[in-house]
A and B are shown apart, each in its own frame.
Chain A
Amino acid sequence: MDNVIPIILGMAAVTYIPRLLPFLMLTNKEIPKRVDIFLKCIPVAAIGALIVPGVFNATPDMPVAGIAGILFALLFGLWKGGIIIPVIGAVVVTYSVLFFGA
């Protein structure tokens, strides 16, 4: 394709500017308490929506495999915490279900 590069640069600009503006506007400023609480609620709200419903279709050919992996991550996380073992474990569980289930 010929004229893709200008499109890519345009995409880069409209992706970067929204990522940048809050840093220029908010950092080192006094923020009203309400707004601060709102901003602190964003991570939990964002992660909830990033996980559900996508997670139920993480392995589209066989959704149960992905769900099994995620369940492992959830249970291990609740039991012992940590990030690396839940993530690698989830991949291993999903792999096993896909491998033996197919």
Chain B
Amino acid sequence: MIGTMTREVEQAFKAAIPIFIGYVPAAVAFGILSKGCGITLLQCFLFSAVVFAGASQFIALNLLMTGMGGGGVILTTLLVNFRHFLMSASLSTRVSRMSRKAHVLMAFGVTDEVFSVLSFRKGTLTKRFVFLLELSAYSAWVSGTVAGYILGGFLPDILTKSMGVALYALLLAILVPELRNSIKAVVLAVASGLLNSFLIKLNILPDGWTIIVCILVVALAGTFFMVDDDVREEVYG
């Protein structure tokens, strides 16, 4: 029992390292930017501590600067972050049996990167693994934000820029084993990327909604051509 426990703790921290590398420079940038916008340290901290959703926080700062009112900022945030609804839906079927309280806490930490790591972890997701991963991601985000606000650009510019690829590299590294195993996964992932590029070019959907449309369309398409295999699995065991 103790063996499984320490292994899980180790795996959670290992899984958190790439998220940490990706979140810190982004969070520092957010801290610096909010200071430049005339936000107080407390407000800046609260942004990261209670919203905990990267892209939407940057967008909110920009909108506040243009003088948009609270209602507009909150509505935009809802639209930008609504993709997490689909991500939570996908995760919720995979978590082990646990108390409602645990679900209520766990839901707070569903970011793009946490979701991606959890999605491709084999087996049922245990409370310990999920919470350790979320807590690591959360500490990176909140502490990076505060450090950025107080210390300013303490990371060399070129390093910050290079660390910007970390989150993409993380998502790709998570996806690769899946791509090796299944040609369908390749087709779905590539289709989703192409569709997203196309929708962004079209420029008719609000921020965040191109991804939602991609998830809905591609996952729905997936249900049609995944079905054959599943049936076969059932027939042949």
Contacts and interface: CB of A to CB of B under 8 A. Distances in A.
Contacts, number: 295
Interface string B172-210: 111111101000010011111111110010000000001
A102 to B, nearest CB: 8
Nearest to B170: A87
Nearest to B194: A52
A89 B108 CA distance: 31
A1 B170 contact: no
Contact residue range for chain B?
Answer: 35 or more
Contacts of A19: 81, 84-85, 87-88, 107-108, 110
A15 B81 contact: yes
B151 interface: no
Interface string B78-100: 10011111111111110101001
B176 A81 contact: yes
Contacts of B174: 47, 83
Interface residues of A, number: 76
Given A12-B51, A53-B200, A27 B78 contact: no
Interface string A8-23: 1111101110111111
16 contacts: A7-B60, A11-B73, A18-B85, A22-B88, A26-B89, A27-B95, A42-B90, A43-B120, A44-B222, A48-B196, A49-B193, A51-B175, A53-B200, A74-B172, A84-B14, A87-B21
